[in-house]
Amino acid sequence: MAFEDRNLKCVECENDFVFTADDQDFHSQKGYQDPKRCPDCRSARRSGGGYGGGGYRGERQMYTATCDQCGNEATLPFEPRQDRPVYCSDCFSKVRPAGGGGGGGGGGGGGARW
Ligand SMILES: [Zn+2]
Ligand SMILES: [Zn+2]
């Protein structure tokens, strides 16, 4: 069965795009429907942008504060609060085992080894 290039209209941006014979062959083998979107819009969707074209890539907002312990600059993944001491990552790892109970949902799980 021979395929010919076809022009389809993208439902998203309404531009015409070519549904190539190769693609048609591939789609029919897989049992896919005709594509509704041009390659541009498809890749835009896949990369997650979607709404409003925002470039949000899951990057975390980081905050800087002064470490309570050593006075160095500390980078925090959360907004520092007045009623809680702030530690740099260095001091945090020293402080945490002694503190107990202040679990931050970190990596390692319980410290119940002793
Ligand atoms: Zn499009
Ligand atoms: Zn520190």
Instruction: Reduce the DSSP state of residue 61 to 3 states and report it.
Output: coil
Q: How far is the CA of 7 from the centre of ligand 1 (A)?
A: 13
Encode pLDDT of 6-21 as tens digits: 999 999 999 999 999 9
Between residues 98 and 39, the one the model is more confident about: 39
Region at 105 (left for phi over 0; alpha for psi -120 to 50; beta for the rest): left
* pLDDT, position 56: 52
User: DSSP strand E in 1-114: where?
Assistant: 6-9, 16-19, 63-66, 73-76
Nearest alpha carbon to residue 67 among 93, 46, 47: 93
* pLDDT, position 108: 52
Q: How far is the CA of 37 from the centre of ligand 1 (A)?
A: 5
Q: What percent of the chain has pLDDT over 90?
A: 39
What ligand has the least distance to the C-alpha of 91? 2
Token pair, residue 24, equals 């048609």
What ligand has the least distance to the C-alpha of 86? 2
Q: How far is the CA of 26 from the centre of ligand 1 (A)?
A: 20
Is the model's pLDDT at 55 over the cut of 60?
Answer: no
* pLDDT, position 46: 79
Is the model's pLDDT at 52 over the cut of 90?
Answer: no
Task: Provide mean pLDDT across the span 42-70.
Answer: 73
* pLDDT, position 79: 85
The reply to whether the predicted model has a pTM over 0.85 is: no
- Ion ligand 1 — residues with CB < 5 Å: 10, 12-13, 38, 41
Q: How far is the CA of 93 from the centre of ligand 2 (A)?
A: 9
